[in-house]
A = this chain, B = another copy of it.
């Protein structure tokens, strides 16, 4: 099949000497796209001798792979002609019906028609941002917020304004003030992006009372809420709280995902939106990808149908609870005085605040040399804050590795504090790595 008699052409008349011949041709929106210096560090962090507390990958080793393989085999044999074909730009109807059932666990009542399946909930957020945001629009986000979301908002040339949080979640008074003052200054505030459950990166959960207050503020100020909820069912204590969407169906766009409750590799998430918004989301998705992965939807639906998926979540909870508890134990044992951290009741992350004078960004190369990695807090802010913070993940390493990781981290911190006391200043405080693109996706 190779082409015989290949065509040979004369040398091009002009030889471009620029390193990148297209340097003047890129769209404006790409000017913020830079490869993060942290990327190089994180490829080192992925070496087996490094304990990585930087990642966000769920531990899927407990999935019933043998039984799943039989179900998937049957799928290919019996439904392969549909499962391997083009599908609906809105997502397969049966997939959306299953999503209705999954969301009911968090009190959401919805109709399958109002759901748009996407290539992961990351794409759901991308579609929502694409439908609503013009360059220069403002998106409100918690302080701090998920690095992948900040990247998406930047990709659409939005301005991100952070709103204060405390241990009960976003501060509704600060939110209202922010909306009022931004609009008074003539800015268009398109929506608030919030992760109410076991937030990435802080692990903080919005209390029920705060949810109620947040909805009231949103109603009073005519503010749209985008609720991102990948971890809601991964409670490690108590029961899931009611989703914001269950408190207000008109004002909340809800993003969901199977990545943490089942597995990420199928790239299936969804958005639940009011009808008119949903129409635009479907058209936008069709222009972007034609349709979300069809085969993946068949697999996930078969899994939900044939397996005790709620029971599997219980298995995950027990596993993550042990890891979280190991993290707590390790932090108590190994963190220097003056270090504080959040106490998440679910999810994957603990948010650490370092003693004054330390800089988690500057410290990262030394930590990786000491064979432990974390995600510096600055990755989760659009405004340069976060240098006293670290996000520590307990989802992927074993409990033993987690404790070893905190031990190594403690040693690094002790060394940093020593330098601080000896020299009286943080030698790296003027040098900052570019974290604007955040870590690689497998550790978002």
Question: Chain A 72-113, CB within 8 Å of chain B: the 1/0 string?
Answer: 111111001111111111000000000000001111000000
B123 near A289 with CB under 8 A, answer yes
User: Is there an interface contact between A69 and B60, defined as CB atoms closer than 8 Å?
Assistant: no
Find out whether the CB atom of A276 lies under 8 angstroms from the CB atom of B60. no
Q: A28, A72, A154 — which one has the most chain B CB atoms within 10 A of its CB?
A: A72
Is there an interface contact between A441 and B291, defined as CB atoms closer than 8 Å? yes
Known: A81-B60, A122-B288. A310 touches B68 (CB 8 A): no
B80 contacts A65, C-beta separation under 8 Å:
yes
* Known A-B contacts A25-B224, A288-B122; A265 and B295 likewise in contact (beta carbons under 8 Å): yes
Q: Within the complex, which residue of B287, B295, B444 is in contact with A151, where a contact is CB–CB below 8 Å? A: B287
Would A104 and B25 be within 8 Å (CB), given that A12-B219, A287-B126 are in contact?
no
CA separation between A18 and B244, bound complex, in Å? 23
Asked if B84 contacts A63 (CB within 8 A), the reply is yes
A84 x B265 contact (CB < 8 A) = yes
A184 within 8 A of B: no
CB nearest neighbor in B for A124: B289
Asked whether A14 is an interface residue with its Cβ less than 8 Å from the other chain, the reply is yes
This chain: copies in complex: 2
| Minimum Cβ distance to chain B for residue A326 (Å) | 21
A131 CB-CB contact with B under 8 Å:
yes
Which B-chain residue is minimally distant from A215 (CB atoms)? B9
Most buried by B among A9, A13, A216: A9
Closest chain B CB from A20 CB (angstroms): 4
Q: Does B132 lie within 8 Å of A27, measured CB to CB?
A: yes
- Interface membership of A6, Cβ < 8 A: yes
A264 at the interface (CB under 8 A from B): yes
* Shortest distance from the beta carbon of A196 to any chain B beta carbon, whole Å: 13
- What is the bound-complex CA distance between A269 and B248, given in angstroms? 39
The smallest C-beta distance from A229 to any residue of chain B, in angstroms, reads 14
Q: Mark A200-227, 1 if CB is under 8 A from B, else 0.
A: 0000000010011001100110101000
Provide the bound-state CA to CA distance between A80 and B71, in Å. Answer: 13
Q: Are B7 and A247 in contact (CB under 8 A)?
A: yes
Docked-complex contact A265 and B293, CB < 8 angstroms: yes
The chain B residue with its CB closest to the CB of A15 is B250
A185 within 8 A of B: no
The chain A residues found within 8 Å of chain B, CB to CB, are 1-4, 6-7, 9, 12-14, 16, 19-23, 25-30, 33-35, 57-58, 60-61, 63, 65-66, 68-70, 72-77, 80-89, 104-107, 119-120, 122-123, 126, 130-134, 137, 148, 151-152, 154-156, 190, 208, 211-212, 215-216, 219-220, 222, 224, 233, 239-242, 246-248, 250, 259, 263-267, 274, 276-277, 279-280, 283-284, 286-296, 298-299, 310, 437, 440-442, 444
